[in-house]
């Protein structure tokens, strides 16, 4: 080793040290954060499960409700209601709900009427649903989502141990043909590994509205979405970022606690969706911004130094060894998480996605800033 170090000039040694530092941060991240969802021991459903209200906000979602709502209404759960908030729909949503209420006695709906002079986001519909709910524990999902199992509610509610007020679940997307679908599912898994891993580590910062639960008390004790109601997005991530703590938040990682959603069918739709989701990150707590920057900045540093190590410094063997070791750790962690959350079909595309996704995310953030300046 001493002979090897003596063979390096000062600049090569400096590059190698920075390279080793970036590699260490990346490996520590994957092993200490990325593995936590895999290692999570979720309680099994018992006999004393609390009554639950499932809240679904729907705007022109008649066909999705017809297809997916029965899978929620037929959950194997002792006491639950499903509340659909008809949010200014102009399709046949009301008629579909009225027909379904004749069959399913645990289904109720409430409506927000169209007002051309007043626009609102999903937060109003969620608030209306929570006010209509008769139970303390609520589960939120979307009209284009469905549970992966009839034990979905039981597994989500099993996470409510002493002091729990928020439960974060996994909301995946249906596998479809095509590269875009694989990108969407890789991105979804990556985000879940982050927010679940950090939540398990004691730093919860977000959840997804496709599959999350909390108590009515924690919602109303600080006036719901009042602090960020003026933002169109944030009914899920900003709410969790504001209310979640190490002691009151749990993650649901069993295969039966997942939901699946209909994925975007075009790149333009996905870009619009990502811009909407990313538009709220600037409102996160400072601590959240720091921990989110931890992985991204170390990854960018790793690839930057990787390029420099190869050219002009000619550290080919060192660069190949570091890249191979990191990729081995990364793919192992992703493989375990893919198995945990029922994902498949993109493992060997991860080396490409690992480089492309940060570039796309940077482009999305630039578009968001440009849109804000033009408003």
23 contacts: CB under 8 Å, gap ≥ 6: 302, 322, 325, 326
Dihedral sign, Cα of residue 131, residue 134, residue 135, residue 138: negative
DSSP labels for 112-177? E---TT----HHHHHHHHHHH--SSEEEEEETTEEESSTTHHHHHHTT--TT--EEE--EEE---S
Token look-up 């996994």 returns 170
Phi/psi at 84 (5° precision): -105, 120
Instruction: Band the pLDDT of 359: cuts 50, 70, 90.
Output: confident
Token look-up 């990729």 returns 327
The predicted model gives 251-272 an average pLDDT of 94
Phi/psi at 316 (5° precision): -65, -50
Residues 16-35: tens digit of each pLDDT:
888 889 999 999 999 999 99
Residues 111-131: tens digit of each pLDDT:
998 877 777 889 999 999 999
Q: Does position 260 have pLDDT exceeding 90, yes or no?
A: yes
Nearest to 334 by CA among 182, 117, 138: 182
For residues 76 and 256, the answer to whether their CB atoms sit within 8 Å is no
Q: What is the dihedral of CA 108, 114, 120, 126, to 10 degrees?
A: 0
DSSP labels for 204-230? -----TTSEEEEHHHHHTTTTTGGGTT
The predicted model gives 337-350 an average pLDDT of 96
Q: Does position 365 have pLDDT exceeding 90, yes or no?
A: no
Instruction: Band the pLDDT of 362: cuts 50, 70, 90.
Output: confident
Residues 288-304: tens digit of each pLDDT:
988 888 888 888 889 99
Instruction: Band the pLDDT of 243: cuts 50, 70, 90.
Output: very high
pTM score above 0.85: yes
Fold of the domain spanning 41-264: Spore Coat Polysaccharide Biosynthesis Protein SpsA; Chain A (3.90.550)
The predicted model gives 220-249 an average pLDDT of 93
Q: Does position 250 have pLDDT exceeding 70, yes or no?
A: yes
What is the rounded average pLDDT for all residues in the chain?
A: 92
Read off the tokens for 194. 């982050």
For residues 350 and 330, the answer to whether their CB atoms sit within 8 Å is yes
pLDDT value at residue 116 = 73
Beta strands in the chain (DSSP E): 52-58, 80-87, 107-112, 137-142, 145-147, 166-168, 171-173, 212-215, 249-251, 259-261
Nearest to 164 by CA among 207, 121, 215: 215
pLDDT value at residue 324 = 94
The ranges assigned to domains in the chain are 2-37+287-369, 41-264
């Amino acid at each position: 080793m001493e002979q090897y170090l003596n063979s390096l000039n000062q600049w090569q040694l400096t590059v190698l040290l920075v390279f080793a530092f970036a590699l260490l941060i990346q490996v520590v991240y994957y092993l200490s954060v990325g593995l936590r969802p895999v290692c999570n021991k979720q309680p099994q459903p018992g006999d004393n499960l609390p009554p639950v209200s499932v809240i679904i906000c729907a705007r022109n979602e008649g066909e999705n409700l017809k297809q997916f709502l029965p899978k929620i209404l037929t959950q194997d759960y002792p006491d639950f209601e499903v509340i659909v908030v008809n949010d200014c729909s102009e399709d046949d949503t009301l008629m579909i709900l009225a027909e379904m209420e004749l069959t399913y006695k645990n289904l109720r709906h409430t409506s927000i009427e169209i007002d051309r002079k007043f626009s609102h986001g999903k937060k109003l519909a969620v608030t209306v649903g929570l006010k209509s709910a008769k139970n303390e524990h609520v589960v939120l999902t979307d009209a284009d989502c469905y549970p992966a199992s009839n034990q979905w509610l039981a597994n989500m509610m099993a996470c409510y141990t002493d002091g729990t007020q928020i439960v974060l679940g996994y909301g995946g997307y249906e596998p479809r043909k095509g590269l875009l679908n694989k990108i969407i599912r890789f991105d979804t898994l990556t985000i879940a590994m982050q927010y679940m891993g950090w939540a398990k580590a004691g730093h919860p910062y977000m959840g997804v509205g496709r599959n999350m639960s909390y108590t009515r008390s924690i919602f109303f004790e600080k006036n719901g979405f009042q602090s960020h109601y003026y933002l169109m997005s944030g009914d899920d991530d900003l709410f969790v970022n504001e209310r979640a703590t190490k002691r009151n938040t749990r993650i649901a990682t069993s295969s039966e606690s997942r939901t699946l959603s209909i994925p975007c069918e075009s790149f333009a739709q996905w870009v619009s969706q990502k811009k909407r989701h990313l538009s709220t990150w600037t409102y996160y707590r400072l601590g959240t911004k720091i921990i989110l920057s931890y992985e991204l900045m170390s990854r960018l540093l790793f690839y930057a130094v990787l390029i420099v190590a190869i050219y002009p410094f000619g550290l080919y063997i060192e660069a190949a060894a570091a890249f191979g070791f990191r990729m081995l750790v990364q793919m192992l962690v992703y493989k375990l998480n893919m198995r945990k959350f029922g994902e498949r079909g993109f493992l060997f595309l991860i080396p490409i996605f690992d480089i492309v996704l940060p570039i796309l995310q940077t482009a999305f953030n630039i578009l968001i800033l440009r849109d804000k300046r033009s408003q």
